[in-house]
A and B are shown apart, each in its own frame.
Chain A
Amino acid sequence: MTVARPGSNELQPPASGHDIELHNVTLRFPRPDGKGTLPVYENFTLDIERGSFTVLLGPSGCGKSTLLNLIDGLLTPTSADSVKVLGRDVRTDPDVTRHTAYVFQSARLLKWKTLRGNVEFGLKGLGVQPRERWDELMKKYFGIVGLTDFTKYYPHQVSGGMQQRAAIVRAWVNEPQILLMDEPFSHLDEITAAELRRELITLWSRDEQRRTVVFVTHDISEAVQLGSRIIMLTPRPAEICFEQIVDLPWPRTDADERSFEIEKRLRLVFAERAGVKA
């Protein structure tokens, strides 16, 4: 099987300029008691531009992670006009999700493999990078996140922050056009999380060809620090209740007045619109 590599001709940005197109997506889960269904999304529409750092902000349980699973083809919607990734519908063309890589809330490393072994596991699975490049790629990305000396360690031998770094490498090393990140720093202490946010922004902004990142969080200041576009979701069934373009250079800090202003505004809107529905 041949798979198009990111950057190759097959992967021209779709004419729409949107790497991700969700149109009229409806997803309902059966209720645990078997009576009826639970609507998570009702006719939900969202386009995500190529090269953007889009943050999905919303209260816990509103279906943010579910949205990432829909994009990655891990979940099939109850109905939808389109669930397109790079112009191809993931329902009919699941192979297109080889150009997406996922970083989860917890590292989800295989504890019987070294950090390097875990990264190789992802490389082998997605199969988009030719094997000759693996060494060079791993060297590069382990280096950027400061894990060069720890590639032979097993997950239990390193800290939680280092495990999450390895998980980021596992995703990034594939140089996917789209990166899905599901609250990747929420399990870490604030200092490590801040460090990793900085590294993430460095990684992302350093690429000549900007990757499209979809980043899920419930943390407003994290959203403002990272996002070029912030999308606020309501509780189930999730709807977009607010959008904010953040046109500030990285790295951003809380001390910056403009980002502080944006954060303040978001907090107000969040309390007003993203609260629990009556």
Chain B
Amino acid sequence: MAVATRTSAVPPWLDALLRDRGIQVASMVGLLAIWELFSFLVGEFAGTSIMPGPIDVAPRFFRLVASGEFIGPLLETLGRTGLGFLVAFVLGMAIGIASAKVIVVKAATGLTMNILLFAPTLVVIYLGTAMVGVGNITVAAVAGLLVAPNVSIYMRDVLSDFDPDLTAMADSYRVPTRQRVVDVYLPYLVPSMLAASRVAFSQAWKIVMLMEVFGQPGGLGYEIRSSYYIYDLQRMLSFLIVFVVALLVVEQGIRIAEHRLVKWQK
């Protein structure tokens, strides 16, 4: 009997990405069902219809998408997130690499990084807003400060794990610095940098949202806050869905980049 072979036009990395799609769709449907059931039970037992289910929210969500009303706030939030991410990533990479290489930097930054790591997000947001005031610089600074420690600690540990045997091999083959950076250190760091950027982006995103909910004008967070004030939960949930979908898209984008750039991994 002939074995059915799958001839696929999509490249292998995309194929692997799509393979789990069935399960993903099923889990999404399950999640929506639980949401609907929850909203029904709240209505039955609490006697209020305050928690709209997906069936109630869907028309509002599609109207929001169709009207393009979501684009402005989304872009605003994305822009702020990008700014915060950039600050966090550059700062985190610099501190991480420096503290892996220079023992003094590690000693000097270690405790600060830990304090920032454990600092309650909302307190830093309030402090930042109180000190610097409302505006994009505050957002970038607060997101940068809160996310950078994660990037730096992660990159520091990744670099410390570098196999000294490979350094000895490169020494033995008289490999010059430039070739070492291009052929050894960069490829070693790229997967971790992508992983760190994925985490950093989603954290910056959440922090920006929080800052918008707690006072920054404009953006998705502002829309959610204003919906809450007028008790329009359908509108609030519609914006929440936009938020989640946008985050998923960016995350998948980074994943695809990972698959393409890091094809040597298992």
Contact = CB atoms under 8 A, between A and B. Distances in A.
Tell me whether chain B's interface is mostly helix, strand or loop, or mixed. helix
Interface residues on A, range: 20 to 34
Contact of B166 (A101, A108, A156): A108
A181 B264 CA distance: 28
A164 interface: no
B166 A110 contact: yes
B170 interface: yes
Contacts of B184: 110
Interface residues of B, number: 20
A256 B266 CA distance: 45
A112 B166 contact: no
Interface in B243-266: 262, 264-266
B183 A113 contact: yes
Contacts of A110: 166, 183-184, 187
Contacts, number: 54
A193 to B, nearest CB: 20
B187 A125 contact: no
Interface of B: 165-166, 168-176, 179, 183-184, 187-188, 262, 264-266
Interface of A: 72, 74, 95, 97-98, 101-102, 104, 106, 108, 110-113, 121-122, 124-127, 154, 156, 170
28 contacts: A72-B172, A74-B171, A74-B172, A97-B172, A98-B174, A101-B172, A102-B172, A104-B168, A104-B169, A106-B165, A108-B166, A110-B166, A110-B184, A110-B187, A112-B187, A112-B188, A112-B262, A112-B264, A113-B183, A113-B187, A121-B173, A121-B179, A121-B183, A122-B173, A125-B176, A126-B173, A127-B174, A156-B265
Given A110-B184, A156-B265, 5 more contacts: A97-B172, A108-B166, A111-B264, A125-B173, A125-B179
